[in-house]
Amino acid sequence: MVKPSTRIGNLMAAEKMFGDLSPRVLRDLETVTMTNTYPAGAILFGEAEPARGVYLVTRGKVKLSVCARDGRTLILRIASEGDALAVAAAISRRGLETTAETLEPCEIRFIRQTDLLRLMRTHAEFTFWVTCQLSLNYNSACREIRDLMLSESASERLARLLVHWLPPGEAGPSCQLKLAMTHEEIGQMIGTSRETVTRLLGGFKKQHLIQLRGSTLLIPNRMALESLITT
């Protein structure tokens, strides 16, 4: 038997994830949603696997990647709290387009495909929420492709990535962020090698665009870093 306090906690988490959905829909979601925790490096699902359902990130970061036939890996984006993964595949009943791997300890809420489709048939407002997630994921994919293809150099792509990672609330000239990714993973995000990323970061340091203190990246002059972005 689920304790009342646990049910209330789950409902509050659902409200944070699903926003303006009515209490009735939230209660239905709470009955079919499973919550699991994963360590860093756990594979949530793999590219080309059959979709089992939708994964909702409630804590932590998850990298979504694709692999070429020659073994090269491209990281499409980093999902974080509030993101819904594998939505399109779960609805279309097609194979998954990406591999999802946790970058750090994560808490993931999971809705099985059968429950997802049933709730969409039952609740129009939940169907609208799912449609919004599809739109957000599409817009995110377009932005990542645009940033990768329109940047003229690896240096510009790296600068664009670092600026994109900056906390949205930090609009001042000086800011910082935690680097949770290795140089190899950063290279997989901007379509270049680990060695190139290491060289570029070293060049940024020499130009006083960044400072590295362990895993903390300090950007003393955000506008100077943004000046490298030409498109």
Mean pLDDT, range 59-63, rounded to an integer = 94
Q: Which domains does the chain have, with CATH numbers?
A: 4-150 (2.60.120.10), 154-226 (1.10.10.10)
Q: What is the pLDDT at residue 143?
A: 79
Q: What is the pLDDT at residue 231?
A: 64
pLDDT at 167 over 70: yes
Supply the mean pLDDT for the chain.
Answer: 86
* pLDDT tens for each residue of 168-208: 655 566 788 888 788 999 998 888 899 999 999 999 999 99
Q: What is the pLDDT at residue 199?
A: 95
Q: What is the pLDDT at residue 171?
A: 55
pLDDT at 7 over 80: no
* pLDDT tens for each residue of 98-115: 999 999 999 999 999 999
Query: What does 167-215 look like in DSSP terms, one character per residue?
Result: -TT--SS-EEEE--S-HHHHHHHHTS-HHHHHHHHHHHHHTTS-EEETT
Helices 194-206 and 183-190: crossing angle in degrees, nearest 10, is 100
In the block, tokens 């090269």 appear at 72
Encode 45-74: b = buried (16+ Cβ within 10 Å), e = exposed.
Answer: beeeeebbbbbbbbebbbbbbeeeeeeeeb
Mean pLDDT, range 66-86, rounded to an integer = 88
| pTM score, whole prediction | 0.77
